Structure 1
Amino acid sequence: MTTSTPQPQQQQPPPQPGALPGAMYTSPIPVRPAHLGHALASEWTKIRSVRSTLWTLGVFVALVVGIGLLVAWKSAGSDFSDVPYTVPALIGLLLGQVCLTTLGVLVVTSEYGTGMIRTTFTAAPQRHRVLAAKFLVFFALAYVVSVVSITVVGLATAAMNVVPEGSGQDWGTTALTGALYVSLLGVLGLAVGSMLRHSAGAITVMLGLVLVPAIMPAFLMMSDSLRGVGEVMLAYNAPNALSALFGLPMYDSASHGVPQLLALLGLTVVAMGGAFALLEKRDV
């Protein structure tokens, strides 16, 4: 006659306070549904903790403020009789726009390059929310830095130069619209980067969009049949658009650059729509 050895019984974990017998475990940590605010906080942490952001924005500020102050120092009060005080910032802004477009591309392509985008989309499966947060955080950062840089140049120029009353003082609008233009270029770069998912390719496309329309009119206007195309590209390329926004008389200052700003806004919205559409259709 054999006897079976009794098996030791496994001890059950103590029930949670207030839990019914047999009920599932309830975490004491409150579980909250994710929303756009969480994605914004995540993207803000990413963008401010990456060294490329600090270096790129630092170069942008150095170009706009540094060159602007140098031009203001070498200017005379009579130079601002019919242009705003922020015109010295225009030269640095023409160079600094490349910094913002590059940073816009890197905000999204750097995650694809390192593979961290998989971790991001695993933590936040709603991809459109992540991309929307990238757009909002980058635009806010680029716009604030641009407005502050242009404003510093305007204030310094006003302090260095004495001009007749009412001259050169209407420069607040140019600071807002000029910053909006270069910030939209950066957002356009972010949208292109999201669609291409490759840093070098997206930066090349953005440099082409900025530089080619500024170079091609000189060749297109040699031909009578292509002169119309050349004139449109001449009026809407980035350097002339910024010049019009800053009220330079040689670049159709009567419109104050509004058509050029609206054209860039429309192009950016279309690119953002394409970025959102492709994000949901492709795997990471």
Structure 2
Amino acid sequence: MSTPQPPMPQTAAPTWQAAPGQPYPTYTSPIPVVRTHLGHALASEWTKIRSVRSTVWTLGVFVALVVGIGLAVAALIAANASQESLAGESPLPFGFFGLLLGSICIITLGVLTTASEYGTGMIRTTMTACPTRGRVLAAKSIVFFAVAFTVTLVSAVLVALADVAMLDGAREPSTEEWLKGTVGVSLYLALLGLLSLVVGSVIRHSAGAITIMIGLLLAPLVIALFMFAESLQDLQQALFEYSIPNQLGVFYAQSLSQSGPDGWDPLWIMLGVTAAVFAGAWALLERRDV
């Protein structure tokens, strides 16, 4: 004797009914329809950025460079410099070298956040799920900026605290120096990564966009070093002052020149450049095919 099977759960069936004033019936889906918003796009981009291996590897290398080089430089200085030579010096600038090299990782991750989807074709799925293209770019930018700023800030604070502890002869940094050497430089690098993200959206090619951004990072300073003609001195001075390495150094009061940006100026410069390129990327995204 066979045992009776439990009844199958009943699902709502789609219905067809004619709307008032229409000769043909309309379809009513049994699945509830939810109007999407920016929060859905943010959740999607957060899932993407934390689930791909490139994020783990690039941020892992970034932390290793920033913390490792920062501690190594501080240890080398502590072992070879006397307390008298460190007197009056702030220990925070020794974290500059690791952040400069680590910026390449932030640039790479920023480009991959957008350009890699064009390379794999995943962008078609993304735009099908969220046809509002500007919302997709905004969600990518918000998620990436938050991740880049958080990781950079944690790394910069760790290096700063370790350098202060290791260099006994150095003076205690002021509150403004702490803010510029941790929060300020983290905002700057996060904006640099965001600039890389929108450049990746414009170029739509990972290798090309990374090459452009690394050239923007290094080329002005390298070109300026080989300008020997007197007629090019003004241009050489401008390249020195507004190069990204020099602007990073400004946060640690280590500028290559006596003129040019100082204080928080590099942050506003990077913010303006990023905003302009972001507006261009937004306009192109609305006009170009996927």
The alignment's TM-score, normalised by the length of structure 2, stands at 0.84
Partner of 1:191: 198
* Native 8 Å contact 1:63 1:95 kept in 2: yes
Deviation at 1:240, TM superposition (A): 1.1
Structure 1 pair 106–164 and aligned structure 2 pair: CA distance change class (3 A): closer
* Native 8 Å contact 1:177 1:245 kept in 2: yes
Partner of 1:136: 142
Task: Select the residue among 40, 43, 64 that pairs with 1:41.
Answer: 43
Structure 1 pair 239–22 and aligned structure 2 pair: CA distance change class (3 A): closer
Task: Structure 2: state its 5+ residue gaps.
Answer: 1-9, 20-26
Q: C-alpha root-mean-square deviation of aligned residues, in Å?
A: 2.6
1:25-59 deviations in whole A, cap 9, x for unaligned? Answer: 452x5432111111011000000000011000000
Q: Secondary structure at the match of 2:226?
A: helix
Partner of 1:5: none
* Native 8 Å contact 2:115 2:205 kept in 1: yes
Partner of 1:67: 69
The alignment's TM-score, normalised by the length of structure 1, stands at 0.86
Partner of 1:213: 220
Q: What is the 5 A alignment of 1:1-284?
A: 25-27=28-30, 29-76=31-78, 81-163=87-169, 166-167=172-173, 170-220=177-227, 222-248=228-254, 251-252=257-258, 256-284=262-290
Structure 1 pair 119–174 and aligned structure 2 pair: CA distance change class (3 A): same
Deviation at 1:171, TM superposition (A): 2.1
Deviation at 1:248, TM superposition (A): 2.2
* Native 8 Å contact 2:164 2:170 kept in 1: no
* Native 8 Å contact 1:244 1:257 kept in 2: yes
Partner of 1:6: none
Percent identity over paired residues: 49
Moved more, 176-185 or 252-261: 252-261
* Native 8 Å contact 1:193 1:199 kept in 2: yes
Alpha-carbon distance in structure 2 between the residues aligned to 1:167 and 1:78:
17
Counterpart AA for 2:155: S
